[in-house]
Structure 1
Amino acid sequence: MCCESHERIQAHHIIRKTLYPWGALELGNGITLCPECHRRVHAEFNGRPDLSLPLGAEQGDDQGEWAFLFGLLLDDAGRRGLPEDEFYYIDDHMLEFSVGFQGYDDLRESVRQGDMSRIRFAHEIWRAMPETFYTNFASELIRLNFGEVSD
């Protein structure tokens, strides 16, 4: 998928099984990569993540990489004329997992209403900073510029 090679392709879980075990057989959580691209994806970290650390603290769970790989699946569906949710299906549990890390309930609601495919949801939610980042950032800016605000 990544480099268009069809030689000796290998299966890769976008969100690793040790972090999200329910994604082991999730069609929308898998992508095929050539051996070189697969090595590059695992170059930083290929062990069991310490789940007590924040996401990506060990360089093995990169939300930008996830967004890129989900984007490749989305592009592939478009290029091949495949229904996005039929071929690259992501179940409700994985939607909840993603919202649990990132926030953005409005994206999940768009999926429920049929306004957004599940694979597009995966691409969009992981390419954005966590929603709490923006809330915390805005609160810190206000505090730095205006001091503590009392009710």
Structure 2
Amino acid sequence: MAAHHVFRKSLLPEARFQTGNGVTLCIDCHGEAHEGFNGAADMAQPIDAQGGEKLERVAELYRVLAHLSHRRHVGRSDYYHLSEQVILKFMMMQGFDLGRPIVGTPIERAWYIWDCSPPCVVEALIRANMPTGGGQARRRA
């Protein structure tokens, strides 16, 4: 078994030791989570432009944590905790209106934020990862 940060600590150091940002994975799954990228993020690029976040995996792991907390009837924030500061940063990263209330536990809110990527974020990721050159489609200036 291996401890894994759900959201990369180099992008969000304040979540490094928050219990809601960690999950235990088997060795194979942990290796898969880091496959293709295992380095420091280039902060000048859009989130996941380097493939380090694997945002679908982030949403899936928060979904699993939310279901586990309900199944175990654990409402204690010391087991599944994410601070309001982290939730607000998640909302900013995903382009959510910061005044928009999102209900649920912090883990449920994190799952919702990462599972419901706003179209502007998806489009930015596609543009950032779109190949250029040759016969490939090019962005308009």
Q: Please indicate the TM-score interval, normalised by the length of the shorter structure.
A: 0.7 to 0.9
Amino acid of the structure 2 residue aligned with 1:97: K
SS at match of 1:53: coil
CA gap of 1:107–1:123, structure 2 versus 1, over 3 A, is farther
2:101 is equivalent to residue 109 of structure 1: yes
| TM-score, normalised via structure 1 length | 0.73
- How far apart are the structure 1 equivalents of 2:3 and 2:121? 33
Q: Which residue in 1 is equivalent to 2:131?
A: none
- How far apart are the structure 2 equivalents of 1:62 and 1:70? 13
Q: Which residue in 1 is equivalent to 2:138?
A: none
Let me know the Cα RMSD of the aligned residues.
Answer: 2.3
* Cα deviation 1:27-82 (Å, max 9, x = unaligned): 11111111111001001211111111111111111221110011110111122121
| TM-score, normalised via structure 2 length | 0.78
CA gap of 1:10–1:108, structure 2 versus 1, over 3 A, is farther
Mapped contact 1:71–1:123 kept (Cα < 8 A): yes
CA drift of 1:99 comes to 1.1
Mapped contact 1:95–1:108 kept (Cα < 8 A): no
Amino acid of the structure 2 residue aligned with 1:90: L
- How far apart are the structure 1 equivalents of 2:119 and 2:76? 25
Amino acid of the structure 2 residue aligned with 1:93: Q
Quick check: which one's helix share is greater?
1
Alignment: residue pair count: 124
* Structure 2: segments with no counterpart, 5+ residues: 125-141
Q: Which residue in 2 is equivalent to 1:63?
A: 55
- How far apart are the structure 1 equivalents of 2:99 and 2:78? 19
* Structure 1: segments with no counterpart, 5+ residues: 1-8, 137-151
Percent pairwise identity: 31
Q: Which residue in 1 is equivalent to 2:70?
A: 78
- How far apart are the structure 1 equivalents of 2:49 and 2:85? 24
2:19 is equivalent to residue 19 of structure 1: no
* Cα deviation 1:6-30 (Å, max 9, x = unaligned): xxx2111111111111111011111
